[in-house]
A and B are shown apart, each in its own frame.
Chain A
Amino acid sequence: MNKGTWLEIEAGLIRRKTPAMRSAVESFQQDFKARATFIRQETVAETALSWFPVLNWRYVVPAAAALLIAGLVMWPSPTALVTQIKSLQVFSPHSSVIIMVDEKEPGTVVWVTDLESGDGNAG
């Protein structure tokens, strides 16, 4: 077998060349112009941006939404910023303790009922 063999095979492959487009040059160009008229060409800056997939809107929008939700969930409430009672001990005898948190005007009220003072008066 000599090299001519591959040349013959190549010739056979060349005969499988893709046929020419059915549409003529003129009709293709007319069709293209009709469609391209409605397409706004990108600016160089836009094109540069599109090469940076991280900044693609498909990534930016979900990422921004996720950050927003995470921020809302994790952001401390106004109450938490102003007052935070970690522990409370009432040494005198009493019946109950009520803690009221005012979120509108940040503040906390601690109400101890039936507190017995040293002189016997309730507080």
Chain B
Amino acid sequence: MEAIVSIELLERARKGDMDAFLALFEESRATIHAVAWRLVGPDEAEDVVMETYLRAWKSVPGFTGRSSVRTWLCRIAHNCSVDWLRKRRHVVQPQDFGEDDESGTGGGEGGQFADTSQRAPSEVMAGAELQVAIDSALETVSPEHRVVLLLRFSDGLSYSEIAEATGVSIGTVMSRLFNGRRKLIKALANLGIKTSGGWL
């Protein structure tokens, strides 16, 4: 039933019905915002979301539905972000913009964990303390790995959505997830959080 509604909305959107377009694409807005946020940063993310929707509106008559709406939008958001970064003469590279500025929890000093003995997180680290450690560890992971980790585990995107959002293959996404997770655990270990690694 939902699929029939979506097809009907898509048909109407193709014929120029903006309300149908917005109804169909509204549920993807948070995902597209997450992609834009990770790629261009918080200040310009909303502009990139709007640009993504306008481009999608322009080309929706040609959208065949072979991929999901969200996956299709992720690809457009990636292109918009790259164009945006080019305009700003930034290096075209996935960037991570965490919530440090807003929450004030990020950017913890690695040194504060230097004397911590090897302990399991559940034993020692209270939630806030562990959060600071994770934020700090993430800073040591390369931007390519970090953006994939965050899109997957923080924003809940699927592999194919991440692939479109970052402009790489699904295989590369899987590889980056694997290596990113390994690097994150290693960085946490450097901060004194014991990991066996056996479950990775």
A contact set with B: CB distance below 8 Å: 1-6, 8-10, 12-23, 25, 28-29, 31-33, 35-36, 39-44, 46-48, 50-51
Contact = CB atoms under 8 A, between A and B. Distances in A.
B92 interface: no
Interface stretch (B29-37, B69-77, B79-87): B29-37
Contacts of A35: 50, 54
B195 interface: yes
Given A17-B155, A18-B33, A18-B37, A32 B61 contact: no
Interface in B162-200: 181, 184-185, 188, 194-200
Contacts of B155: 17-18
Nearest to A51: B62
A114 B64 CA distance: 84
Interface of B: 14, 16, 18, 22, 26, 29-30, 33-34, 37-38, 45-46, 49-50, 53-54, 57-62, 98-99, 102, 120-122, 125, 130-131, 133-135, 138, 149-150, 153-156, 181, 184-185, 188, 194-200
Given A6-B200, A21-B46, 18 more contacts: A1-B197, A2-B199, A6-B199, A9-B134, A9-B184, A19-B102, A31-B50, A32-B18, A32-B22, A32-B50, A32-B54, A35-B54, A36-B54, A39-B57, A39-B58, A42-B61, A46-B62, A47-B59
Contact of B199 (A1, A12, A16): A1
A95 B57 CA distance: 81
B46 A47 contact: no
A76 to B, nearest CB: 45
A56 to B, nearest CB: 14
A47 B61 contact: yes
B153 A10 contact: yes
A57 to B, nearest CB: 16
A112 to B, nearest CB: 69
Given A21-B29, A46-B62, A13 B149 contact: yes
B121, B185, B199, most chain A CB atoms within 10 A = B121
A20 B61 contact: no
